[in-house]
Amino acid sequence: MKNLLINHMIRKMETIHIHKLKNGNLQWVKTIATISCLLAFLGCSHPPSKGFGQVVGSNPEYRGSWAQVPVILSRIQAPSFPDRALSVTDAPYNAKADGVTDAREAIQNAIIDISRFGGGMVNIPAGKYLIDGTLRLENNVNFHIEEGAELLFSTNYESYLPQVLTRYEGADVYNFSPLIYVYQKRNVAITGKGTLNGQAKDSWATWVKKASEVGLTRVPGSSKGNWEQEFRDMNNNNVPLFERMSDRSGNLRPHFIQFYDSENILLEGVNIIDSPFWVNHFYRCKNITVRNIVLKSLNKNNDGIDIESSQDMHIYNVDFATGDDCISIKSSRDLEGLQKMIPSKNIVIQNVRFLADDAIALGSEASGGVRNIFVENSEGSNLRKGFYFKGNNNRGNHFEHIRIRNLTLGDLVDLPENARKLGMIDVTTNYDSIGVKYNRPSEFKDIRLENIITGTSIFPLKLEGSAGVLIKDFVLDGVHLGAGEQPNVITNVDLKTLFVHNMTVGNKPLFALVEGSNEEKIIQQNNNIPPDVYAGEEQVIILSQKNVITLMGDAIDKEHRLSFKWEAIPADAEIVSFGEDSNGNELYYSFGDEKSIEFTHPNSLVTQVIFTKPGMYRFRLNVSDGSLTGYHTVFIEVRR
pLDDT tens digits, 357-398: 899 999 888 888 999 999 999 999 999 999 999 988 777 778
Cα–Cα distance, 331 to 309 (Å, whole number): 4
Percentage of the chain exceeding pLDDT 70:
82
Contact call for residues 251 and 208 (beta carbons, < 8 A): yes
For residue 30, is pLDDT > 50?
Answer: no
**Residue 580 banded pLDDT, cuts 50, 70, 90:** low
More confident residue, 562 or 210: 562
Burial grade of 204 (CB within 10 A; 0-12, 13-18, 19 or more) = buried
When mean pLDDT is compared across 16-20, 88-92, 103-107, the lowest value belongs to 16-20
More confident residue, 141 or 4: 141
**Residue 231 banded pLDDT, cuts 50, 70, 90:** confident
Cα–Cα distance, 285 to 327 (Å, whole number): 16
Domains 2-75+530-639 and 145-465+472-479 belong to one CATH topology:
no
CA 493 to the chain's CA centroid = 24
Contact call for residues 361 and 332 (beta carbons, < 8 A): no
The CATH class, in words, for 145-465+472-479 is: mainly beta
- Considering the segment(s) 2-75+530-639 as one domain, its CATH architecture is Sandwich (2.60)
Q: pTM for the complete prediction?
A: 0.88
Q: Between the CA of residue 73 and those of 40, 49, 58, 170, 400, what are the distances in Å?
A: 21, 12, 15, 27, 19
Using N-to-C axis directions, what is the helix angle for 21-42 and 2-14, rounded to 10°?
170
pLDDT tens digits, 235-257: 778 888 888 887 665 678 999 99
pLDDT attached to residue 32: 37
pLDDT attached to residue 434: 61
Cα–Cα distance, 578 to 343 (Å, whole number): 9
Percentage of the chain exceeding pLDDT 90:
68
Q: In sequence order, what are the residues at sequence separation of 6 or more whose Cβ sits closer than 8 angstroms to the Cβ of residue 430?
A: 392, 393, 464, 466
More confident residue, 439 or 316: 316
Q: Between the CA of residue 199 and those of 100, 148, 181, 275, 571, what are the distances in Å?
A: 14, 17, 17, 7, 49
**Residue 574 banded pLDDT, cuts 50, 70, 90:** low
Q: What type of residue is 95?
A: A
Tally the residues of the chain.
640
pLDDT tens digits, 297-320: 999 999 999 999 999 999 999 999
Contact call for residues 624 and 560 (beta carbons, < 8 A): no
pLDDT tens digits, 398-428: 899 999 999 999 999 876 555 556 899 999 9
Per-residue pLDDT, averaged over 77-90, amounts to: 98
Domain boundaries, the chain: 2-75+530-639, 145-465+472-479
For residue 79, is pLDDT > 80?
Answer: yes
Cα–Cα distance, 429 to 441 (Å, whole number): 7
**Residue 350 banded pLDDT, cuts 50, 70, 90:** very high
For residue 6, is pLDDT > 60?
Answer: no
